[in-house]
Amino acid sequence: MSSLQTVVLTSSIIYHHNLIKQFRNYDIGITCSVIGHHFYIYSYYILDDMKPCLFYCLAIISYFIGLQKNIDYMRGYLHIFGVIANILLNKCIT
């Protein structure tokens, strides 16, 4: 899971520093696919703890709101909710 988070970090750096033009949608897609992958892993633990589910759902909802209304700060919420969910997921696994 941490290797996927490294991919998200790298794509965010590329986007925020304009290293590749028109990279915004790729960055959002990468982040959402990683969150989807983590949500899939979490589905095996869903009966133990529901808190990660809440934050994964908030991350996905913030993605769609940001995409529909073209609001950049919603991307920040996508990252924040995803990180909180991953922290809670790690507590479920261990």
The predicted pLDDT at position 47 comes to 62
Mean pLDDT of 5-33: 85
Cα gap 93→54, rounded to integer Å: 17
Whether the per-residue pLDDT at 48 is higher than 70: the answer is no
Torsion angle, alpha carbons of 10, 84, 75, 38, to 10:
70
Q: How many residues does the chain have?
A: 94
Helices (H), the chain: 2-16, 24-42, 51-69, 73-93
pTM over 0.85: no
Question: Is the backbone of residue 22 left (phi > 0), alpha (psi -120 to 50) or beta?
Answer: left
